[in-house]
């Protein structure tokens, strides 16, 4: 076990599952050996997070609340625009959208299925405790032409994603020796850059940084040209948002031999579920972790810290590395909620008694600090935002 393993506190549920994935990647692709507990727990440990039960860790932007029909409803509010949608969610123009007590009272007046259906139609990150993921954990959605690469070829990764899951995958690709370029919008840079700079630095160290004005057709065309040179693309946009950015994933995959395209979404990369918004905490609920903890005797609450993000980042890296080495162009859809369900099922099959004990222990640790894990020092510079735009986009770089 690497030195970054937990030094005190309850075991993080599914960290052993994450550990096995990381070990397999280290053996197959030459990554440094990392601990699952480290990748799942370093953000919380560094931020001094508390295990808070039905309130998510950190800023508490996600809450689990009981509904009229006896279920539990997960709602994440991390953007002002989400709060603006609450009157429509509850059919109540008088609700105080800043008061979690008022929100919980409104939730209690509705059935959970109605809240989830309406919330997803509105574009809110919501979930219910007893849902079944609508999309497979991962699916190859499209295949293209094969590409043979030179033995010393250094892979180029274009990382269009934000927050945690996608950037963590990009971090693991960087650990594998790939060249990773982080792309941010001029008007909507990565939120975690502002809200959690320590985590941002940890998972974006060593990456080049480019800034794109997506309202500028020439800059979008330059970005597409960069993608055509890439070996791997990571994105976490809903389909219509990706199209709005001027990026046609399917055409690029068909026209670029060997291009591996990783589409990370909350609940699925195709069909109706592709337009549902999902964040790490509510996706963990949708993936069955809250129900599993209750069944294990740990009560109702969130499991770990935004658990779907690190699990998905690890799976995305695992699948991306395997696809890259195959040489076959392909688009792989990854569902954060279904990845949680997959990890839970596989861990139960591996050692049901152990995962139940970890879930029970987690639920009984409410009010305690998150487990303390070793902090990984930065091993490379964190580039200033947009510092490498001219290098990668040339004369079309924004001023």
3-state secondary structure 268-305: CCCCHHHHCCCCHHHHHHHCCHHHHHHHCCCCCCCCCC
Specify the pLDDT at position 1: 42
Q: Give the number of C-alpha atoms closer than 13 A to the C-alpha of residue 353, restricted to the C-beta side.
A: 0
- The whole model's pTM is what? 0.95
Specify the pLDDT at position 398: 47
Specify whether the CB–CB gap between 76 and 282 falls below 8 A: yes
**Domains defined for the chain, CATH in brackets:** 6-45+134-273+301-390 (3.40.50.10540)
Q: How far apart are the C-alpha atoms of 372 and 46, rounded to whole Å? A: 8
Specify the pLDDT at position 2: 46
Kindly give the confidence (pLDDT) of every residue in the chain, 399 residues in length, as a single tens digit, with 9 standing for 90 and above.
443 455 577 999 999 999 999 999 999 998 999 999 999 999 999 999 999 999 999 989 999 999 999 999 999 998 889 999 999 999 999 999 999 999 999 999 999 999 999 999 999 999 999 999 988 999 999 999 999 998 889 999 999 999 999 999 999 999 999 999 999 999 999 999 998 999 999 999 999 999 999 999 999 999 999 999 999 999 998 877 788 888 999 999 999 999 999 999 999 988 899 999 999 999 999 999 999 999 999 999 999 999 999 999 999 999 999 999 999 999 999 999 999 999 999 999 999 999 999 999 999 999 999 998 877 899 999 999 999 999 999 855 444
Burial of 2 (0-12, 13-18, 19+ CB in 10 A): middle
3-state secondary structure of 191: helix
Element (H, E) at 194: helix 191-195
């Amino acid at each position: 076990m690497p030195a970054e393993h937990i030094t005190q506190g309850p075991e993080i549920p599914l960290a052993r599952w994450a550990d096995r994935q990381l070990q397999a990647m280290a053996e197959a692709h030459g990554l440094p050996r990392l601990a699952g507990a480290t990748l799942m727990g370093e953000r919380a440990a560094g931020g001094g997070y508390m295990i808070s039960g039905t309130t998510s860790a950190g800023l508490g932007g996600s809450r689990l609340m009981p509904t009229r029909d006896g279920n539990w409803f997960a709602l994440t509010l991390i953007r002002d625009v989400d709060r603006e949608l609450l009157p429509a969610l509850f059919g109540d123009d008088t609700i105080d959208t800043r008061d979690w007590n008022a929100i919980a009272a409104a939730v209690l007046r509705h059935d959970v299925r109605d809240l989830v259906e309406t919330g997803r139609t509105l574009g809110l990150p919501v979930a219910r405790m007893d849902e079944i993921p609508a999309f497979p954990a991962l699916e190859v959605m499209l295949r293209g032409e094969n590409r043979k690469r030179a033995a010393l070829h250094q892979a180029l990764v274009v990382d269009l994603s934000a927050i945690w899951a996608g950037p963590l995958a990009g971090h693991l690709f960087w650990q594998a020796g790939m060249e990773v370029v982080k792309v941010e919008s001029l008007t909507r840079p990565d939120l975690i850059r502002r809200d959690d700079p320590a985590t941002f630095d940890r998972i974006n160290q060593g990456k080049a940084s480019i800034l794109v004005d997506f309202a500028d057709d020439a800059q979008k065309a330059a970005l597409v040209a960069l993608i055509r040179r890439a070996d791997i693309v990571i994105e976490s946009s809903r389909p219509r948002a990706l199209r709005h950015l001027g990026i046609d994933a399917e055409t690029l995959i068909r026209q670029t031999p060997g291009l591996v395209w990783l589409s990370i979404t909350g609940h699925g990369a195709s069909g109706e579920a592709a337009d549902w918004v999902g964040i790490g905490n509510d996706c963990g609920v949708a993936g069955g972790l809250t129900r599993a903890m209750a069944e294990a005797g740990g009560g109702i609450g969130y499991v770990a810290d935004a658990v779907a993000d690190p699990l998905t980042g690890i799976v995305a890296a695992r699948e991306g590395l395997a696809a890259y080495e195959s040489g076959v162009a392909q688009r792989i859809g990854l569902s954060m909620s279904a990845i949680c369900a997959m990890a839970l099922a596989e861990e139960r099959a591996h050692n049901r008694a152990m995962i139940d004990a970890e879930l029970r222990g987690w639920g009984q640790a409410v009010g305690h600090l998150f487990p303390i894990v070793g902090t990984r020092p930065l091993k490379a510079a964190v580039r200033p935002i947009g510092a490498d735009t001219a290098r990668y986009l040339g004369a079309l770089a924004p001023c």
